[in-house]
Chains A and B, each alone.
Chain A
Amino acid sequence: MPANRPAPPEPRLTVTRPTRGRLRRALAVALPLPVVGLVLLMASGHLLLPLQKVVTIEAKMASKRDFFEDPEVERLLLKHGFRVRITRMGSREIANQDIKGYDVVFPSGQPAADLITRERAAADRPVTTYRPFVSPIVLATYREYAEALRGNGVARLQRGSGGQSLYYTLDMEKFLALTRGGKTWDGIGIARYGVDNGNKVLAQSSDICESNSGGTYLGLVAFVEHENDAPDTLPEAERLARDIKPLLVEQGLPSAEKAETYLSADGKGISPIAVIYEHQFLAHQIAYEAEHGTPDSERVLLYPSTRIDTEPQLVALTRDGDRLGELITSDLELQHRAMELGFRVRDTRSDATSVQLKEFLGERDIPAPVTSADDTKAVLPRLPLLERMIQIVGDCPPAEGAE
């Protein structure tokens, strides 16, 4: 996911500016000349009547800019009179920094959204949140690594619908035991699969202090290491955080953009197991299939045996923000596009969302992941406890509004 993508061609005429009246008048006179241009714009679906007002939404978001920066989403939003200007930062950062001047913030998960909604509620300025989709946390890796884990009885291949499966189920407990035991990839015999790597077996996550995926992975590890239970009290949470800290800090200085690093051409060397969101992986497979006609069978997913879903929340801070929130949770075209970008869309009118995604992948001969309702689902500790654990594990400064 490039952090900055070139914007799609847009009709610049329509930007609200003091000159608009003048332009409108001029346009009427000049119409015969640019008519070819207008026709082209109409054909590409970019047409906006010069009279329609385009609102620029100021937004802060983390990984979910993948959705808002998609050219098709940009086009659809423009059709509804929105342009979104995104300031990028990690989800926990979004909650920590001033949100004045923004119309919406879109942290990638519930904890950061809760920090914001609580703070606003305390200040007697409650906000509405919109939850257009969910996406599980996954460990994205490469075939050799998944196979090495499988050879050690730590992962098993999912038998799914058609094609070479891209999905494995990872026994989190055994996986974390490898890290705790100081095992390296060479040490677990990855050479048999044609790779040499003297690094320790662990999953690299984004910065725990800044990102939702990092904090959520911490919550997942804590849950697994605490016998499938989230800690309930502060002393319990603190003890557990100290206990799991070694499992999470041995990756050293985290790189900023885990998915981008993993999906880059050098990903196998620099980020062989990365904690990312399912939608980021699926979006890659969908794009790869569109270009090559077959899925990328080198890049595969490890689904933790203990699952954890994330629920990004669009927090509307202004009336325009609310309109945007309404739109993305109700507009069928946008919801369909979200699915095409690998999201599990929340649809209030039916519960067939996973089915739709599965069908969509199936039509493209991309194997679909099998998730069972029987999987253990991890729950995050209560917010103040999670916050405390994040501070201990990442040596992070305290977040605003956690108490």
Chain B
Amino acid sequence: MRGRIPLLTVCTLLVATLLSACTDDGDGGGERVRLRVLASPDLAVLAPLLDELADATGVELDLDRRPDAETRLAAARTGYDLAWLSSDRYLRLRDRESVHGLQRTPTMTSPVVIGLALDTARALRADVPGGHLTWADIADAAATGTVRFGMADPRNAGSGLAALVGVATAAAGTGAALRTEDVSCDRLRGFRSGQTLTAATSPDLVDSYAAHQDRADALIAYESDLLALNASGRLKEKLEIVRPEDGTVLSDFPILLLDPSRRAAYDKVTEWLRRDDVQERIMRDTRRRPVSATVTRDAPLRAPIGNALYFPDRLAVVERLLADYGDPDRRTAGQVVFLLDFSGSMRGARMAALREAFAGLSGADSSSTGKFTRFYQGERLTVVRFGGRVLEERTITVTGPGDLRELTDTVARGGYGDATAVWSALDHGYRTAAHALAADPDRPLSVVLMTDGENNAGLSYAQFVRRYEALPDAARDVSTYPVHFGEADTAALQRAAAKTGGRMVDADDSSLSEAFKEIRGCH
């Protein structure tokens, strides 16, 4: 039979080849190749396109969608030819050696943004000059209970991780990529106190929101998911899409070539996906932004995305954020015991500074860091005023502005002591802490000790230490964060911090407000 190909077949083939001329790569004609793809659930929406891809390229993609696709390490990726994720950032940090050097092709982009119910959006805007909302404004509103939001679990979902990093970067307020020291204290408790919905993946989160629209008035997700949800008819009220000014994180949905022997098929797939006509289809089907600069974008996708923040390049930073985030189903509100020096030397300007600091933490501080570090819904706050002895103790749980007023009133009250019993006060603080932990062991707790003078009454430091050592384990684990002010004894305060696992801050370097903010969320 060799060489005896029927004339008509040859002619037909030739004409077909010459006319189409650009689909077949010449390595096996119509032979179909099937690739196993580890895919993130965000790719489900592309399913209708895959048949066309197969027809055009002869490559069938078998998408295996896994909730943990974006965090799977090399060992759990065996057996897959490609990976198609919403983002490979986590892998680039966690699994640097094995993903670096892989052929990588971005296929579309979408920023993580927030969708707000119209009333909520209006209320938030009213408080913000210029009306441009930031993550700090969202955190502020979450802390007061004005915003209740849903967000996917950052330990699995690229959108959740991007949001978490975005919010944390805004909270640090340095304008640079997060460093380990920026996340040593958890500044996101106020933000997280507003989270009422979660899910393992972005698509599940969207479903959850659609099913429980009464439980949240905001949704943090990919822009594409929010646009699709708005168009789906599943919402009683559409969400207004807000792209926070202070920190966009853009995902670029890369395809990674895991098995280099599949290179030829990979090239065909990626070439096809990046053709302008296909990019346009993807944009229509997914509402994600095309990677091709020559495709004309649909109107909603022309909105500027804000400034991309610098994404951290240290795994330790991300792991710390994830650990602090913990299980989103768990309650995260903490308790702080403030031990405040009300000796005579605090009269005047120093007391004014203290009251200003408390007012700031109660919501008056309109700076970005102030919005992240303010007192938040569900948080318990104990204020102990002391001089030569404890003068007053008051504990509130924040449920609304009234509670915070009660707290500031306590601080505003006069009544000064004539001596400074620093260690007796700290001892008192630990008794209060021990009681609180016995009643509510899951609530994280820390002690803040603010003083402007040397100890001249009550217990000595050595006596305090003896009593501290005798406390139950849980109470001994509570750290003390001394705030040094005026003539306080630096060495003694540092000793106390070191003993209890805390850290001293010096208010004389900045201000009392800044010092309190610096140790917010430390535990």
Would you call B11 and A252 a contact (CB within 8 A)?
Answer: no
Tell me the residues in window 392-428 of chain B with beta carbons closer than 8 Å to chain A beta carbons: none
Q: Is the CB of B22 within 8 A of A29?
A: no
CA distance A93 to B111 in the complex (A): 29
B17 close to chain A: CB less than 8 A: yes
Task: Classify chain B: how many residues form its interface, as a range.
Answer: 35 or more
Separation of A284 and B312 alpha carbons in the complex (Å): 30
User: Is the CB–CB distance between A269 and B22 below 8 Å?
Assistant: no
Decide: B310 and A250 in contact? CB cutoff 8 A: yes
A266 partner residues in chain B, CB cutoff 8 A: 109, 111, 250, 289, 304-305
Knowing A252-B312, A263-B293, A270-B250, the reply to whether A200 touches B24 (Cβ < 8 A) is no
Please state if B109 and A3 are interface contacts (CB–CB under 8 Å).
Answer: no
B352 to chain A, nearest CB (A): 29
Contact partner of B26 among A17, A27, A204, A257, CB < 8 A?
Answer: A17
Contacting pair A268 B7 (CB below 8 A): no
Contact B22 A7 (CB under 8 A): yes
Contact check, A12 vs B19: say whether CB atoms are below 8 A apart. no
Closest residue of chain B to A252 (Cβ to Cβ) is B177
Q: B292 on the interface (CB 8 Å rule)?
A: yes
What residue in chain A is nearest B177 (Cβ atoms)?
A: A252
Q: B305 → chain A, closest Cβ, in Å?
A: 5
**Contact present for A2 and B24 (CB under 8 Å):** no
Please indicate which of the listed interface residues B11, B18, B19, B177 has the most CB atoms of chain A within 10 Å of its own CB: B18
Asked if B248 lies at the interface with its beta carbon under 8 angstroms from chain A, I say yes
Judge whether B311 is part of the interface by a CB distance below 8 angstroms: yes
Q: Nearest residue in A to B169 (C-beta to C-beta)?
A: A252
The residue of chain B having its C-beta at the shortest distance from the C-beta of A8 within the complex is B22
Nearest chain B CB to A376 CB, angstrom units: 29
- Report chain A residues within 8 Å CB of B109: 264, 266
Pick from A32-40, A132-140, A158-166, A275-283 the stretch touching chain B: A32-40
Among A6, A93, A200, the most chain B Cβ lie within 10 Å of the Cβ of A6
Give the CA-CA distance A218 to B459 in the complex, in Å.
Answer: 57
Which residues from chain B contact A269 at a C-beta distance below 8 Å? 248, 304-308
Q: Which of A121-129, A191-199, A233-241, A327-335 contacts B (4 or more CB under 8 A)?
A: A191-199
Question: If the complex has contacts A6-B275, A12-B24, A264-B293, are A34 and B18 also in contact, measured as CB distance less than 8 A?
Answer: yes
Residues in A with CB closer than 8 Å to B177 are: 249-253
- Docked Cα-Cα span, A7 to B267, in Å, equals 11
| Residues of B contacting A: mostly | loop
Task: Please give the distance in Å from A59's CB to the nearest CB on chain B.
Answer: 13
Least CB separation from A183: chain B residue:
B175
Complex CA distance for A199 and B291, rounded to whole angstroms: 24
Give, as a whole number of angstroms, the nearest-CB distance from A60 to chain B. Answer: 11
Residue B213 lies at the interface, judged by CB distance under 8 Å to chain A:
no
A319 at the interface (CB under 8 A from B): no
Does A25 make an interface contact (CB < 8 A)? yes
Q: Does B233 contact A (CB under 8 A)?
A: no
B5 touches A198 (CB 8 A): no
Smallest beta-carbon distance B278→chain A, Å: 9
Least Cβ–Cβ distance between B307 and chain A, in angstroms:
5
B391 at the interface (CB under 8 A from A): no
Q: Is the CB of B297 within 8 A of A41?
A: no
Could you tell me if B310 and A2 are in contact, using CB atoms closer than 8 angstroms? no
**Residue in contact with B5 in the complex, picked from A4, A22, A268, A272, CB distance below 8 Å:** A22
Q: Are A265 and B14 in contact (CB under 8 A)?
A: no
7 nearest A-B pairs in the assembled complex, by CB-CB distance? A252-B177, A37-B18, A270-B308, A252-B310, A250-B176, A200-B175, A26-B10
